[in-house]
Copies of this chain bind each other. A is one copy, B any other.
Amino acid sequence: MDFKSNETIYSQITEYLKKQIFCGCFASGARLPAIRDLAVLCRVNPNTIVRVYAQLTEEKLIYTDSTNGKFVTSDGAFILQKKREYLKQKAEAFAKEVREAGLDGKEAVRMLGEIFGGQEEKERT
């Protein structure tokens, strides 16, 4: 994992883990890497990971089982809801950019369709 220099490292790692949870790479109920392990993996100070886990805990996506470590919440429906919110927010941010730059929605949707490799077209058939 490489980091952008214009964003804080912990927020980049937080985003990364969030997406890992959403996509199921860290499944509901799964045990997360130990702080030290993840710190080594990310070549980052353990304090940074502490902060990452704190944030995810606050969002209730993970919880601490005191002696056993950190786990992804077992409430699958909650994760799904969070996932929807997350993507809705990303989509709205993108839509905002599009509008502010004076492009119309139609073209933006087409652009996105292209990026997804013509999936949209296939669908219509």
A residues in contact (CB < 8 Å) with B: 3, 5-8, 11, 18-19, 22-24, 64, 66, 83, 86-88, 90-95, 97-98, 100-106, 108-109, 111-113, 115-117, 119-120, 123
Contact = CB atoms under 8 A, between A and B. Distances in A.
Given A7-B7, A83-B103, 17 more contacts: A6-B8, A22-B103, A23-B100, A23-B101, A23-B102, A86-B101, A87-B101, A91-B108, A91-B111, A91-B112, A91-B115, A94-B94, A95-B115, A105-B113, A105-B120, A106-B116, A106-B123
Nearest to A106: B119
B105 A119 contact: yes
A63 to B, nearest CB: 10
A95 B87 CA distance: 10
A60 to B, nearest CB: 14
Contacts of A103: 22, 83, 87
16 contacts: A6-B8, A19-B97, A19-B101, A22-B103, A23-B100, A83-B102, A87-B108, A87-B111, A90-B98, A95-B115, A105-B113, A105-B115, A105-B119, A106-B116, A106-B123, A109-B109
